[in-house]
A = this chain, B = another copy of it.
C-alpha cells in the first residue's frame, strides 16, 4: 500500500524535517531504517514498511514534525522505543508512514518519593527509570515487563503489563501531555490547571478523564506521562506454585482466584504452561516435528507442568501472614507445591534469582537471553493474546486449543497467562525462525486459527500485530460495530486527515485515503 503515499511527498517531508530538526534527527538509509521495521517479519515482507525515521528531542520538535506531515500530507507512525517485538516493533499499518521514534527524547523529568510517582518522556526505558530511582536514592519500587529495554510510555499506551502491585501499567498512568494533530499541546486531568500541583497525584480533573483515550489509539502523540510508583517494601517475597499434573490447572486456577480477588496475592501472577515436564511424561518421538523445540521451550521456562509466580510485598509481618494464607489454601491440592524466596526491599539486582527479577521490579533481559540461548538469534515470534475469564475450566480449554493448533501445524510456542483478579490475560508466543519462510507462514496461519477458534468462545485479543488488527477489530460487533464507529468519529474530530498513526488498533478517519 506504499503506493497510496506519493514518493515525492515523502521526499518533501524528509527535506522539511531535515531543515527543521537537523540531519541527525532524520534516519533515511536502509541500514538506519532496518531497526524500525518489524524485527520478526522475516525475508520478503512488503507490508507495514516505514519510509524513514525522525527522532525529535523536544515537544516543540514534535509539534514541528506534525505541522510538516500535515502540510505535506504524509502520515506519521509513532513508536516510543519500538521494542514491542511480538507486536511488530515500529512497523506502521500504512506502508510509507514516517516513523516518529522517541529514543532521543528520554528524560526522567521528576521522581517524587513522597507522593510515589515519576514523570517521564516517551523515550525513557524501564532500565532508565530504575537507574534514575537508584541515583536519586528514592525509596520507590517500579513495575517492569519481562524485557527491560522497552519504553514506559509505549508499554503503558499499549495496555502492557508488569508483575508487581503496579503491574497493570495503564492503570498506573496519571496525567499526560499530548501533541494533537492540530499542533496544539494538551495536558490531561489536573495538568490542565497550569499552576496545579496535582497532575501526577490525581487521575481525574473536571470533566471526563482522557488518559485512557490516548492509549491504544491515534488521537495524539504522548510527549510526557505520569506514572505511579510503589513505596519500597520492607520485604519482597516471590516464588512459585508448581503443579506437575496436566489437569491440575483447573483446581490451581480456581484456588488462585479468591486469593487475587481479596488481595492476598499482590502483583500479577504469571502462570506458565510447559507441556513437556522434566519428569519425562512426554514420549520422545511422539511429536516428531516439534519435540526438540518443545524441549527447548521447557528448558527456558520455570519448573513444573504449570508454574504460577506469586509475590508479596510490604511489612514483614504482613508478608508472612499472606504466605500462611496461601499455603493453607493450597494444602488441599496435593499436586501443587509452593516455593518462596525472600529479599529485602532494597536488594541489589546481582543478589536476585533471575527468575525473580521482574517480580522485584528490576528491569532485565533474562527472558530474551534465554530464548536466544536455546533457539539462536534468528528466533522470532507472533503473539495471540486473548482475555479469558479467570476460571479453571476456561484456562484448561484455552491451553488445549493453543497446543492443538500448534501441534497440527508442527509449531511450538511459549504459553501462559498474566492473572488479574477477574481475567486471565493469555499470552501465546508462537515461535519461528525468521529465516524460515514456511515456518513464518505456518505461525501466522496458527494465529489466524486461534483467533477464529477464540472468537467462537467470545474471546479476543488485547493487543495485536499490525497484520491481525483488522481481524481483531472485526470481533467488536455489538450494535452494528458501534464502538469502532465512535472510535472513527473521535478520529474525525481530532485528526480528520488521518495524519497520526492511521490504522492503529483499527481506527481510521472516515475520509481515509491511505486505506
Contacts and interface: CB of A to CB of B under 8 A. Distances in A.
A478 B206 CA distance: 14
Assign chain A's interface to a size class. Answer: 35 or more
Contacts of A115: 261, 389-390, 422
Nearest to A484: B207
A476 B204 CA distance: 12
Interface string A207-226: 11111111111010000000
A74 B414 CA distance: 57
Contact of A230 (B192, B262, B493, B494): B262
B389 A204 contact: no
A186 B262 contact: no
Interface string A167-198: 00010001000001000111110111111111
Contact of A204 (B170, B195, B196, B507): B170
A114 B506 contact: no
A179 B228 CA distance: 34
Interface in A244-279: 257-258, 261-264
Contacts of A420: 202
Interface of A: 114-117, 159, 165, 170, 174, 180, 184-188, 190-198, 200-202, 204-217, 219, 228, 230-231, 233, 257-258, 261-264, 314-315, 317-318, 321-322, 324-325, 387-391, 420-423, 425, 455, 457-464, 472-473, 475-487, 489-490, 492-494, 505-507
27 contacts: A114-B391, A165-B263, A184-B480, A185-B482, A186-B479, A187-B483, A188-B483, A192-B476, A192-B482, A193-B476, A194-B478, A198-B388, A201-B422, A202-B387, A202-B420, A205-B462, A206-B475, A208-B212, A208-B219, A209-B215, A212-B212, A213-B213, A231-B261, A231-B262, A315-B325, A318-B322, A489-B493
